[in-house]
Chain A
């Protein structure tokens, strides 16, 4: 690729990167809150994204419900789902060494993915609405409506989460548990329940992202796994325990991902990994530092 060719695609790549990054930051946000508060690397997170994409798909093909209208019900359903999983499964071993919870969520992921494979088959599916593939132009740069909406919705949900954590009683309880579990307990916070709510929120955020991802990407049972590693890198990039950090990390990651796809196709994961190691060595507290949901 010559320099001129490269320069000609820079504006479009920046826009693509921003729009991809918005959705990725929504995925990472759920991953981040579970990791930050519960100290669990939730490897089932990608599976929630996948299941929610299927939910939107079946709502659309079965009942003709617009995917954007599926976001709220999906979030509600996955909140309950996540709550139950945390309350009745993960809470049982949450104080065990890291490997235990790590493997537990890995096991859950394997179950979800393979049940999905068994029920839905391995076919490639996609949600094609009347407005799929339509967009507008700013100069030479094409902006698809769906992806722009996905970016805006992601930012909106991130903002709502930030307000929820800082302004509501439950949000404060969640942050308190993340900061000092014993002090929170002394103040009367119910730990098990707060953990379950936090995990439920993580699952709900994954569900919202899953609907948005289902609208612009192919839906398969194994689509979720890639989001775990990416979420991890984004959270490390932005700094653990920070909503703005996750959003910023997501946008940066989206940008790098798009440019890496243009310049060195096929090495996306290697680039993501290199980025991870670089950040861990140079700035282990992340770009925005350790704010910890303050």
Chain B
């Protein structure tokens, strides 16, 4: 981002509550401890004897949800652009990987990387016109992109296999090894996304993104090239989403347009980010754990009604804690009825 000639002291005018928060060193230590412990647990658990393939797959689903949410967090949480079409990049990455592996016999790793790059390029291309739009227009335009991409993929029979989908080569690994392999592939993308987000939040790009979220005109007047910053955020978000899509394609061993471009993926990423805390580093991971746990719980108890609960959860989260659980964990909000109603009091009309 050689956007400006000025030194990198961008939005000192409006310090973000998220980025410039002074963290007590003791709390900092605890957070590091928890993260380290979680990482060790995530690394060793698939090799334990009593862990079944089903459990590994379940955890892979959670990690995948967290990675998708982390990706959305970059554009939706940090930059404040409510993108509703991220599944387009999931599908683009997935299909690019699938086509490379199935038709050109490329190996898994280069194919997935290419999938991520294809998604990022697609986002860059779309970003320049679409990111000029704001608010509702941006949301619906991105929603439209996802639908339009699905239709094009479903009709491009010669390349994508059309509506009947595309089948990827079967892995030579034994089932349990394959489970572990896919788990680590997904985990790598997720950890990569967290590391990427960490470095972004401490870079000029990250400060610029938050400045755009808080006040785009002010950011512009401070010399931030808002278009470049927004497109960069959009493309990085698409890069992660595309990588997840690529890994998912191989994991699933086939792709159909209805699944690869299912709006559900976007929606889940958004909801998870909101539950966790948009614009925070570990919010998406926490949100993914909470959300997937609840979803599995509801799935078992109320088969057929789980999507209704998804909707109810969405409505309740939005009304009572639109900044997510992160606020409660960091102690900025207390979990009392009074605090829960604060947001409603601030935004209602009567």
B319 in the interface (beta carbon within 8 A): yes
Nearest-Cβ distance from residue A115 to partner chain B, whole angstroms: 6
User: Closest residue to B162 on the A side, CB-wise?
Assistant: A266
A107 touches B308 (CB 8 A): no
B349 touches A195 (CB 8 A): yes
B35 in the interface (beta carbon within 8 A): no
B82 touches A107 (CB 8 A): no
Q: Contact partner of A118 among B150, B271, B305, CB < 8 A?
A: B305
B312 touches A111 (CB 8 A): yes
Query: How many Cβ-Cβ contacts under 8 Å join chain A to chain B?
Result: 129
Nearest-Cβ distance from residue A279 to partner chain B, whole angstroms: 11
Known interface pairs A107-B315, A273-B148. Does A94 touch B140 (Cβ–Cβ under 8 Å)?
no
A183 in the interface (beta carbon within 8 A): no
Q: Which one of B76, B137, B154, B304 has the highest number of Cβ atoms from chain A below 10 Å of its Cβ?
A: B137
User: Closest residue to B139 on the A side, CB-wise?
Assistant: A102
User: Closest residue to B278 on the A side, CB-wise?
Assistant: A99
Nearest-Cβ distance from residue B293 to partner chain A, whole angstroms: 19
- Compute how far the CA of A91 lies from the CA of B286 in the bound complex, rounded to whole angstroms: 29
Q: Which residues of A contact B141 (CB under 8 A)?
A: 273, 276-277, 280
Give B104-147 interface residues, CB cut-off 8 Å to A.
129-130, 133, 135-137, 139-141, 143-145, 147
Known interface pairs A35-B136, A98-B135. Does A110 touch B308 (Cβ–Cβ under 8 Å)?
yes
A92 touches B147 (CB 8 A): no
Nearest-Cβ distance from residue B185 to partner chain A, whole angstroms: 31
Say which one of B171-179, B186-194, B220-228, B340-348 lies at the interface with A: B340-348
Give B288-312 interface residues, CB cut-off 8 Å to A.
304-305, 307-308, 310-312
User: Closest residue to A44 on the B side, CB-wise?
Assistant: B311
- Compute how far the CA of A239 lies from the CA of B190 in the bound complex, rounded to whole angstroms: 43
A 34-47 binary contact with B (CB < 8 Å = 1; else 0):
01000001000000
B308 touches A115 (CB 8 A): yes
A270 in the interface (beta carbon within 8 A): yes
B155 in the interface (beta carbon within 8 A): yes
Q: Which residues of B contact A100 (CB under 8 A)?
A: 318, 322, 347
- Compute how far the CA of A107 lies from the CA of B315 in the bound complex, rounded to whole angstroms: 6
Number of interface residues of B (CB under 8 A): 45
A95 in the interface (beta carbon within 8 A): yes
- Compute how far the CA of A277 lies from the CA of B305 in the bound complex, rounded to whole angstroms: 37
Q: Which residues of B contact A270 (CB under 8 A)?
A: 147-148, 151-152
- Compute how far the CA of A114 lies from the CA of B139 in the bound complex, rounded to whole angstroms: 23
A96 touches B349 (CB 8 A): no
A266 touches B151 (CB 8 A): yes
- Compute how far the CA of A108 lies from the CA of B315 in the bound complex, rounded to whole angstroms: 7
A143 in the interface (beta carbon within 8 A): no
A110 touches B311 (CB 8 A): yes
Q: Which residues of B contact A73 (CB under 8 A)?
A: none
Give A261-283 interface residues, CB cut-off 8 Å to B.
266-270, 272-274, 276-277, 280-281
- Compute how far the CA of A266 lies from the CA of B312 in the bound complex, rounded to whole angstroms: 33
A77 in the interface (beta carbon within 8 A): no
User: Closest residue to A39 on the B side, CB-wise?
Assistant: B136
Q: Contact partner of B308 among A35, A91, A111, CB < 8 A?
A: A111
Q: Which residues of B contact A233 (CB under 8 A)?
A: 144
Q: Contact partner of A268 among B82, B151, B304, B307, CB < 8 A?
A: B151
Q: Which residues of B contact A192 (CB under 8 A)?
A: 348-350
B168 in the interface (beta carbon within 8 A): no
A55 in the interface (beta carbon within 8 A): no
A273 touches B311 (CB 8 A): no
B92 in the interface (beta carbon within 8 A): no
A104 touches B318 (CB 8 A): yes
- Compute how far the CA of A52 lies from the CA of B164 in the bound complex, rounded to whole angstroms: 34
Q: Which residues of B contact A195 (CB under 8 A)?
A: 349
B343 touches A93 (CB 8 A): yes
User: Closest residue to B155 on the A side, CB-wise?
Assistant: A266
Known interface pairs A41-B136, A92-B348. Does A107 touch B314 (Cβ–Cβ under 8 Å)?
yes
Task: Please list the residues of chain B having a beta carbon within 8 angstroms of any beta carbon in chain A.
Answer: 76, 82, 129-130, 133, 135-137, 139-141, 143-145, 147-148, 150-152, 154-155, 267, 270-271, 274, 304-305, 307-308, 310-315, 318-319, 322, 343-344, 346-350
**What are 19 of the A-B contact pairs (CB < 8 Å)?**
A91-B348, A93-B343, A99-B82, A102-B82, A103-B270, A104-B315, A104-B318, A107-B313, A107-B315, A115-B308, A118-B308, A191-B350, A236-B137, A266-B155, A269-B144, A270-B152, A273-B141, A273-B148, A276-B141
Closest 9 CB pairs between A and B?
A107-B314, A110-B311, A111-B311, A273-B144, A270-B148, A107-B315, A95-B347, A99-B82, A114-B307
